């Protein structure tokens, strides 16, 4: 039992649950012949990859200093991949009526791809500042995760405050509301280090902020998934009549492009690890 034990399990078990949802949907939906369902396939595939990558990072990060950094490089890549998967699903199923087929809608996924690539680079770079500039490291990492989420959330916020949605749109709104509130709570816990900063030592194994952050993120993902399923089903007829069906380039193409650039980013920063002198050694030499 260590401070990482529950960090591992709070993401490992949910990753299998989300994989089960993915496989169950795969058996029920004809993805080969129905382009309308492609964004759902992309979203569901990223939903179980990110908690699995996180659990692996928490499991194997103790192998060595460089292994720790590389594990979290991969973790950050998976988290940002999920952010892009969410953007693709939102673009296809959840956009408010007033924004469908607008310029913002047309470029939403493209800019989400750019956000994802930049976010991975920024979050990986922040790990090089952990010892020398810990405050700047924390700020950059929070910014790297918060900015893509804020971009993804714009159509949801617009929709929740819009009065133009019909009954089909209103059915999923409570799930979107709960998802947004819990996601904000997760960001707060990640940044504030509560409750362990109020009682140092008491929450080392159970109940510290990163465990609560994991639980909130998983709960938010579950609520988001339910909302997307509802939107996809109840708004299908209206969406097919008013918007252009998602293309292969907007779904699989966007994800593949992001994966390629993410791997390049991770490889670059991994190589840089072995070329960067230890901060402690630098201090001793001076």
C-alpha 225, offset from chain centre? 13
| Rounded Cα–Cα distance for residues 29 and 38 (Å) | 10
| Rounded Cα–Cα distance for residues 112 and 152 (Å) | 8
Q: Is 214 annotated as a binding residue?
A: yes
Does an H or E element contain 40, and which? helix 38-60
**DSSP secondary structure, 78-102, as one string:** HHHHHHHHHHHHIIIII--TTTTTS
Q: How far is CA 193 from CA 190, 211, 265, in A?
A: 6, 11, 28
Q: Is 210 annotated as a binding residue?
A: yes
| Rounded Cα–Cα distance for residues 166 and 33 (Å) | 29
262's tokens: 């993410």
Q: Is 193 annotated as a binding residue?
A: no
Note whether 227 and 175 are within 8 A (CB). yes
Helices (H), 161-285: 167-170, 173-192, 209-234, 236-242, 254-275, 279-285
Note whether 138 and 193 are within 8 A (CB). no
In eight-state DSSP terms, residue 129 is G
Q: Which residues contact 8 (CB under 8 A, 6 or more apart)?
A: 55, 58, 59
- Of 225, 214, 219, 224, the closest CA to residue 9 belongs to 214
Burial class (CB in 10 A: 0-12, 13-18, 19+), 220: buried
Binding-site sequence positions: 58, 210, 214
Binding-site sequence positions for Zn(2+): 58, 210, 214
């Amino acid at each position: 039992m260590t401070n990482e034990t529950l960090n591992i399990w709070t993401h490992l078990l949910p990753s299998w649950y989300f994989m089960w949802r993915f496989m169950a949907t795969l058996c029920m939906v004809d993805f080969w012949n129905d382009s309308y369902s492609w964004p759902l396939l992309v979203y569901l595939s990223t939903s179980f990859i990110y908690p699995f990558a996180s659990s692996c990072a928490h499991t194997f990060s103790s192998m060595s200093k460089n292994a720790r950094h590389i594990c979290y490089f991969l973790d950050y890549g998976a988290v940002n991949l999920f952010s892009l998967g969410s953007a693709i699903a939102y673009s296809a199923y959840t956009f408010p009526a007033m924004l469908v087929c607008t310029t913002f809608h047309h470029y939403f996924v493209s800019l989400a791809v750019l956000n994802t690539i930049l976010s991975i680079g920024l979050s990986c770079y922040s790990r090089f500042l952990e010892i020398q500039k810990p405050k700047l490291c924390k700020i950059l990492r929070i910014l790297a995760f918060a900015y893509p989420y804020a971009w993804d959330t714009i159509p949801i916020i617009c929709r929740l405050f819009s009065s133009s949605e019909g009954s089909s749109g209103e059915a999923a709104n409570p799930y979107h509301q709960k998802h947004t509130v819990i996601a904000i709570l997760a960001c707060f816990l990640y940044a504030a280090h509560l409750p362990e900063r109020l009682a140092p030592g008491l929450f080392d194994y159970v109940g510290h902020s990163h465990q609560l952050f994991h639980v909130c993120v998983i709960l938010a993902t579950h609520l988001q998934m339910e909302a997307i399923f509802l939107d996809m089903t109840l708004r299908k007829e209206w969406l097919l009549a008013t918007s252009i069906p998602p293309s292969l380039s907007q779904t699989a193409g966007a994800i593949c492009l992001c994966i390629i650039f993410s791997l390049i980013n991770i490889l670059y920063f991994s190589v840089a690890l072995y070329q960067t002198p230890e901060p402690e050694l630098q201090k001793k030499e001076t």
